[in-house]
Chains A and B, each alone.
Chain A
Amino acid sequence: MTDLYFYAALFLLANMLVGLARALRGPTMPDRMLSGELMGTTAVAVLLLLSVATDTEALIDVALIFALLSVLAVVTFVRRTWPEPGPPRGRRWP
């Protein structure tokens, strides 16, 4: 069973690296952020699987930190890197 978890982690790592192509291609900034989101969630899953595969409970704490701090990146991006110019005035999205 533990071998199986390791294979699953390997599959997820490969999956995550394929998803990196979106960070490379873009084209807009939120697209690249999305790729980061994918990697964050997948890293949490990889850590959970590795924690069971290698029987190290502390890895769950690392996963917890990843899950918590992934919000920080997105919020900083939205509020500081790519902030809106102001409240939308009369612009109605179709």
Chain B
Amino acid sequence: MNLFIDGASLMLLVLGLLFFLSGTIGLLRFPDVFTRLHALSKTDTLALGFISASLALQSGSLLLTLKLLLITLLVMVAGATSSSLIAGAAIARGVRPWQR
């Protein structure tokens, strides 16, 4: 059982790291601000979710788990809203979306 939890935790951690990496690659490689937003905000939120899930599996204390959950939810809500704000501001100021 313990081995199973450790394994799951490790897998989640590695998944989180991979998602962070893919977010950075997207941020660097995509052609304009909207595509970069799309790459970054989703993957990073998910990656943070994976990492805090991995830590929560190991924590063993309720308060700690609740705090991890709160932080993840906060980043989720804040990330989503700030992405939409940035995109909206960019459109309103006349940044043209990339077209092939």
Contacts and interface: CB of A to CB of B under 8 A. Distances in A.
Contacts of A8: 13, 17, 51
A38 B93 contact: no
A22 B28 contact: yes
A31 B33 contact: yes
A52 B55 contact: yes
A71 B82 contact: yes
A83 B90 CA distance: 10
Contact of B27 (A12, A35, A78): A35
B17 A34 contact: no
* Most interface-central of B36, B48, B78 (chain A CB within 10 A): B78
Nearest to A82: B89
Contacts of A45: 16, 20, 47-48, 51
Interface residues of B, number: 48
What is the interface of chain A mostly: helix, strand, loop, or mixed? helix
Q: How large is the interface on A (under 10, 10 to 19, 20 to 34, 35 or more residues)?
A: 35 or more
A70 interface: yes
Given A30-B87, A74-B86, 18 more contacts: A1-B58, A15-B21, A15-B24, A16-B24, A18-B28, A19-B28, A31-B33, A35-B27, A37-B83, A41-B48, A48-B71, A60-B71, A64-B67, A64-B70, A64-B71, A67-B75, A75-B85, A84-B93
Interface of A: 1, 4-5, 8, 11-12, 15-16, 18-19, 21-22, 28, 30-31, 33-35, 37-38, 41-42, 44-45, 48-49, 52, 57, 60, 63-64, 67-68, 70-71, 74-75, 77-78, 82-85, 88, 93-94
Interface of B: 6, 10, 13, 16-17, 20-21, 23-24, 27-28, 33, 36-37, 40-41, 44-45, 47-48, 51-52, 55, 58-59, 64, 67-68, 70-71, 74-75, 78-79, 81-83, 85-93, 95, 97
